[in-house]
Every structure is written in structure tokens, then in C-alpha cells.
Structure 1
């Protein structure tokens, strides 16, 4: 099983000393405005010269900047030149096959704004990291172009419960679209089992209890969901809907503007 680890490119030594392949979660947000183009290109070049590792890059606020950089031929040229300087080759495949790119969302509004930018870029694997999810999320047709979805609940004394119905709905959307589903955990709130039945009404009432992250667990419907993408849909390049890749088309709405 591949070891998972985090890497802070601007604070930690480069991961060249890691001898065995790792799944590397890159933190913090590389596409934050505080990171210059040269800084991001340098990180991309390091990742390019370490194909034995898989790098998971997530942006929470810089989705528009991510789209601008990763669709720019000039950025690719800059990465190639820096990779050659790092001892690699300037003849790099693009997108880099060992770099997975995603956006973080908390609710439907953020997903509607950020996911279209993700789908507009070439990436070996495209993912959505929904944590902490604070409302229901419908990916609509966008799910067909995603490879992976990570879901988790809120953490901390002032956290809000992740409703089981939201988690089940996302899992079912992923299953139907062939998207790998990874349930990180409930957060600080856990569903009380078994749920109470509402006499004379349809369905159940699910009670949630704040027990802390360590005790809430990661089991959804008697299963631990740890699916990983095996072949990226994103490797084919950016999604194009006859140049009509908009929030409305992707999320099954009549329209929608930024």
C-alpha cells in the first residue's frame, strides 16, 4: 500500500530523499495569490522530475488562477526549462501523469463556481475535495468528467454535522458516473445507530451526536470507502462542450453566471 504524506514546497526539503513511491498531498494552496508564477512553476518542475511519486494538488480559493496558469503554453514552457535545470528532461508529457489537480468546495455555490475551472484544464486526474461539506451537493453532468471525489465532515467545537443523506447522495452520484469515492470521515459528529423510525411517516429521523473526530469514524452504510482513481478522464485534456462549458450546462441548470 502506497504511503501518504504531506509536502510543503516552500517550507520543507524537496522530496528527492524519499526512496519509496508516495502519495503526496501538497499544502498549502499553490494557487493562492501569495505564490508567484515562478514559484508554482518550480514546484511543478520538481514534481515532473519525480515520476515515482503521485502529487495531489488542491486549490480552495485560486481556481481561476489555476485555470489561467495550467492552460497557458508559457507556463508549460517555464516548467520544462526548470525541470531540465533540475536534472530532468525538457521533453515532458503534458499534463504531467503524476500530478492530480482538484478544487476544494464546501457547498453547492462553491462547486458551481469552481468545478468548471477545474474541468477546463488538462490534468491526469481531476478531483473535488468536499470538506467540510455543509449542505447537499449535486455534481450534475460535471461528474462525468471527474475522476475522484473526497468527502469529509466539519471538525471542531463549533462544527456542523455532515448529514448522512448528503454523503449517500454524493456516493451514489459517484457510483453512477464511475467516479472513485473516498470518504474521509464524519468529522466531529457521528450518526447515532440505529436511526429512529418516524411512526406514521415515511423514512427515518437520523440523530447526530458530537463525539469528536477520533470517535466519529469513517464508516458509511457499513462500509469504509477508500476508492482511488485508476485511469484519469482528465488526461484527455480540458473538457469542451462546444465552447459552452458553463456552470449551467455542467450542473444541469438553465443558466448561471460567475
Structure 2
């Protein structure tokens, strides 16, 4: 735990719970896992949480409640952003609800802070936060914690979901994005965010960056506009209006009602509405179109064994966020950096260098470089398949690689009404 951290998107870390298990490719080179099995392996908060393997320390799945650190945020009076369970997962399989209740109680009792929760287990997070008794359980846990004037607010319904708690999921590739983001969106939260770090593949989040939730009065199902089908009735525009993906209901102008529970985050341009929604918004102007994701953090991997990030993966997320007015923070390149990133053609686009060319041979360093394709495969100039494009990456270290994306530092955060 640290009041002060080098993590670019937070101010402090808080580890009331440590320990975890490997659940997806993003866990392979986990910094917290390696640290728990090396420098901190004899510390009471980490001892026994990892085991040795051929690739180094690996989480055992055991978790630990560090009660000595539980009330630390209550002693920090200056407001700050706090990364919760930076060396574990608050919603890991072995963590009892009672531990999570105490963590949420502290967050409720410290409204001056912003708590950033990040998990790879959104199913558990949703189950926990939608339980009928959750507020009363948290309030009961908070009674015995510290002395705070905020105790009186623990049971107030208008304080739920907690306005100072941001809930996020890790999405290192498209598979994890498709699995985790919909569950995050189905979880009550003041701010919902995603961390695409380490970014291990291209990720398209456009279906979640602007949409609205509606109810079909024909079958009573709720669904997001981005899941709707085009209307097939030629006498009513044929494809210009939308149809319920469950029952196909579409013709009645009163067949839909707005059911989005949150505030409009931005006003999309008219051409976006025309392209995405057709004439639906003109028939029902009360439907709110908004970003379902409030913040995106992206970055490459650092540390021993770090895998390179194709530059266009980060650029794509940046551009998707810009198009939808979603705050974007580029955390780091990681160990690898794009060689020749400043090389552009006459149109300002990144210059493509033939792997067999003289220019490529001058840039190539066999000890530090690799060619990475858009789908994440790595090659040398000799092994790169014909007619396959690879971006030249060099392992120069996190500090040297920096965090500028096309010469710009992206440091945007969500704007909250707190």
C-alpha cells in the first residue's frame, strides 16, 4: 500500500486484500504476482500467496485480508484517487462477501476520495452489488469501522451506487472485452471504465461507446439500441427504423419507451444519429444516446517477458474514444516502442517499410527488435510471410519508450458531478 504511486491513472494504492489467481492472458506477467513471489514473499501480506513454476512465481488462489490496512483511507484527509486492491482482485473467487462489505464500508465512509476498482471477474462483482441486502450488509460492516461523520449516510438509498466508487474491468483483447464489458454495464456504478492493459490485441468497443436502452412494449424485453435489428417492413421505411431483436416488433410508433437510467454524457453529432439510429430518434426524441463506458485506459506491457503492443491497437482505442467523446488515458508503451513512428508519407500516414528493403535492414536490430502483425504474431524480417505487414518494434524499456502516442500525452479522466 502506498500514498503515492508511479501508476499514471491514480494517486495511491490500497491493499486491504492481497492474492489472486490466473484467469486470462493478461495475468501472465502480472507485476503483483511476481513481486509477491520474490521481494515480498516473506512479508505477512504476501507469504504463501504464490508458488514457484518454470515461468516464475504464480498465484495459488489463496487470498489474505490485511485488516491492519483497512482503515488507511480514513486517515488520508486530502482527497485523492485510490486504486483498490492493486495487488489482488477485490472480487477474486476466494474473497468472502464479508471482506468486500468492509472494503465498501470504508469507501462509503471516505467520500472525499475516489476509489478505482478494477476486476477480471465482473460476474462476481455484479452478483455482489445487485444482492438485495447489500446496502444493509455494508452499513452493518461500517458500524465498527473508524469514527466518521459519514456513518449516517451508509443506509441512504440516494448514496447507492456509491458516487465515489468507479468500477472497471480489464480487457486485454477482444475476447475479454466481449465477455466482460456487457456484465460491467449490467452492474450498478457511478462510473464504469475499462483498462486495456496490457493490450494484447485489437479491441473494438464502438458498440458500447454510444447507445441507449429501450423497452419493447410488445414483448416487454429491455435491450440496447446497438443490439436492435433493422425493420424489414417496406411500407414503413424498410431498414430505416429498428426492430426488437427478441420479437421483431417495430411498426407501431408507440412500441418503444426510453429506459436509460443514467444521464446523457454528451450530445452525439447528427450524422452519427442518422447513421446509427436512422429515423428512430425522430419518432422518439426522448430516447437518450450516450456512452455506456465512462473512461478508457490503455497501455502496453512492461517488465521481464513483456509482449509488444501493436501501435495501431492503441491508436484505434484513442480514435474510438475521440469519436464518442469518451475520456482516454494512454498509460504507457511498456517495454516496446515503435521504431520509425515519426516516419510518415506525403499524406501524413505512417510509412510502410518493406521488410526486405534497405531501409528495413538499417532499422533492424536482431537483439532487441521484432516485427508484429496486427493480429499479434511476431516475426523477424526473414520469417515474415510474404504479403504480410509487420510493424517494427524495439525493446528499449518503459522509461525510454514513454507514454506519448503520436507525440501527444493522453491524460483524460471522467468528469463527475461529485
1:117 to 2:176 alignment: no
Residues 195 and 207 of structure 1 are in contact (CA less than 8 Å); yes or no, is this contact kept in structure 2?
no
Aligned pairs, number = 229
1:225 to 2:285 alignment: no
Q: In structure 2, what is the Cα distance between the partners aligned to 1:203 and 1:171?
A: 16
Residue number among 130, 133, 137 corresponding to 1:74 in the alignment: 133
Q: In structure 1, what is the Cα distance between the partners aligned to 2:180 and 2:12?
A: 26
Q: In structure 2, what is the Cα distance between the partners aligned to 1:106 and 1:194?
A: 23
**Structure 1 residue aligned with 2:34:** none
Q: In structure 2, what is the Cα distance between the partners aligned to 1:3 and 1:187?
A: 17
Structure with larger RCO (C-alpha < 8 A, sep 6+): 1
Distance apart, 1:13 and its partner CA: 4.6
**Structure 1 residue aligned with 2:233:** none
1:126 to 2:199 alignment: no
**Structure 1 residue aligned with 2:323:** 176
> Considering only CA atoms, is the larger Rg found in Structure 1 or Structure 2?
2
Which runs of structure 2 are paired with 1:144-183 in the superposition (5 Å)? 144-183=291-330
Structure 1: state its 5+ residue gaps: 236-258
Aligned to 2:298, what secondary structure does the other structure show?
strand
Aligned to 1:204, what secondary structure does the other structure show?
coil
**Structure 2 residue aligned with 1:104:** 170
Distance 1:75 1:91, change over 3 A: closer
**TM-score of the superposition, structure 1-length normalised?**
0.82
Distance 1:117 1:3, change over 3 A: closer
Which runs of structure 2 are paired with 1:35-50 in the superposition (5 Å)? 35-50=95-110
Q: In structure 2, what is the Cα distance between the partners aligned to 1:188 and 1:123?
A: 33
Residue number among 8, 25, 30 corresponding to 2:15 in the alignment: 8
Q: In structure 2, what is the Cα distance between the partners aligned to 1:162 and 1:116?
A: 25
Q: In structure 2, what is the Cα distance between the partners aligned to 1:24 and 1:96?
A: 14
Structure 2: state its 5+ residue gaps: 1-8, 17-64, 210-290, 353-390
**Residues 160-169 or 35-44, more deviating:** 160-169
Aligned to 1:154, what secondary structure does the other structure show?
coil
Distance 1:132 1:45, change over 3 A: same
1:17 to 2:75 alignment: yes
C-alpha RMSD of the superposition: 2.2
